[in-house]
Amino acid sequence: MIPEDHPRYRSLITRERLAECARSGIVSWEGLTAHGRGEAFDYLIGEKTTGSALQAERTAAALLLAAHHPVISVNGNTAALAAPEIAALQKASGAIVEVNLFHRTEERVRQIEELLREAGCDVFSGTAERLLPLSHDRAWCRREGMYSADVVLVPLEDGDRCEALVQMGKTVIAIDLNPLSRTARSATLTIVDELTRALPQITKACTEVSPDECRQLTGSVDNHYLLSEAIREITLRLSHAMD
Ligand code: ATP
Ligand code: MG
């Protein structure tokens, strides 16, 4: 039992949720270590949505709204942490929700799809094929889903697949707390923010951006600037800590 007045209550509850989902097979054991890296970077950015992350979230909303075939790619950690938030974003953006896993088994895919459906997602399932140019199992996707997408939102992505999707000509939006990762550097747009803070902000922006703002945002994506701002934020916090 975690006491509610514990200063790290939210973080401990999240860990408990991930451990429970690892025991039931939804989250891979490796996914737990990926979360740990995320937590470390969240500490460094101050566990809040920065100004540049908010700007990236608004731009992500504009890219999803302007897309012809937007897809949200969901893995085990994303489903465990944010299934209701994915459902809300799907409603606001009209995107397809598709499961894509590094540690892939048919049973895990089925479990994650079920969790997403229970949270209100309309999950695009059906026969997957090995369609992406990758040697590992993230190559598996659906022809009418991710393979045909023009814009893909990839929360908690690995760098390999992010690069492969960009090389296929897709606009890739990553959510990644590590501004130095290959994912962050190869995506078209990177949101350096925690998943459960980022998704509701994108959903909210979907209901706010006007067609004019949408055109302006999609026409001026500058990921290098956004990543530099995230790194500047971290550096500033570190230098204050040394004062
Ligand atoms: P690459 O450099 O190839 O992108 P990676 O080691 O970052 O490699 P993974 O381990 O697959 O790739 O990615 C986990 C990433 O997800 C980490 O960068 C971590 O910062 C980020 N992450 C983990 N949990 C969260 C979260 N809740 N919200 C946002 N980002 C997260
Ligand atoms: Mg990564």
Fold entry, domain 51-242: Rossmann fold (3.40.50)
What pLDDT is attached to residue 158?
82
How many angstroms is it from 168 CA to the middle of ligand 2? 19
Residue 172 Cα to ligand 1 midpoint, Å, equals: 15
* Residue ID of nearest Cα to ligand 1 atom 16: 156
Question: Does the C-beta of 85 come closer than 6 Å to ligand 1?
Answer: no
Compute the distance between CA of residue 224 and CA of residue 242 in angstroms, rounded to an integer.
27
Burial class of residue 196 (count of CB atoms within 10 Å of its CB; 0-12, 13-18, 19+) = middle
Nearest residue by C-alpha to atom 11 in ligand 1: 158
**What's the predicted TM-score (pTM) here?**
0.96
49 lines ligand 1 (CB under 6 A): no
pLDDT in tens, the chain (243 residues): 888 888 888 899 999 999 999 999 999 999 999 999 999 999 999 999 999 999 999 999 999 999 999 999 999 999 999 999 999 999 999 999 999 998 899 999 999 999 999 999 999 998 888 998 888 888 888 899 999 999 999 998 888 899 999 999 999 999 999 999 999 999 999 999 999 999 999 999 999 999 999 999 999 999 999 999 999 999 999 999 888
Cβ contact 82:47 at 8 Å: no
35 lines ligand 1 (CB under 6 A): yes
Cα of 19 from ligand 1 centre, angstroms: 17
Name every residue whose Cβ is closer than 8 Å to that of residue 48 and which is 6 or more positions away in sequence.
197
Tokens standing for residue 163: 């690069």
**pLDDT value of position 80:** 98
Protein residue with its CA nearest to atom 29 in ligand 1: 194
Q: What's the CA gap between 36 and 30, in Å, rounded?
A: 10
Q: Tell me, using a 6 A CB cutoff, whether residue 176 lines ligand 1.
A: yes
Cα–Cα dist 240/119, whole Å: 41
Render the chain in DSSP notation, one character per residue.
---TT-TTHHHHHHHHHHHHHHHTTSS-HHHHHHHHHHHHHHHHHTSS--HHHHHHHHHHHHHHHH-SSEEEEE-HHHHHHHHHHHHHHHHHH--EEEE--SS--HHHHHHHHHHHHHTT--B--S--EE-SS-SSGGGEE-TTTGGG-SEEEEET--HHHHHHHHHTT-EEEEE-S-TTSHHHHHSSEEE-S-HHHHHHHHHHHHTT--HHHHHHHHTT--HHHHHHHHHHHHHHHHHHHT-
Listed in sequence order, the residues at least 6 apart from 107 whose beta carbon sits closer than 8 Å to its beta carbon are: 25
State which ligand 1 atom lies nearest to the alpha carbon of 182. 2
User: How far is Cα 169 from Cα 132, in angstroms, rounded to an integer?
Assistant: 12
Q: What is the C-alpha to C-alpha distance for residues 127 and 140, in angstroms, rounded to an integer?
A: 10
Select from 70, 66, 53 the least CA-distant residue to 172.
70
Strands 140-141, 129-130: pairing kind: antiparallel
Nearest CA to ligand 1 atom 3: 159
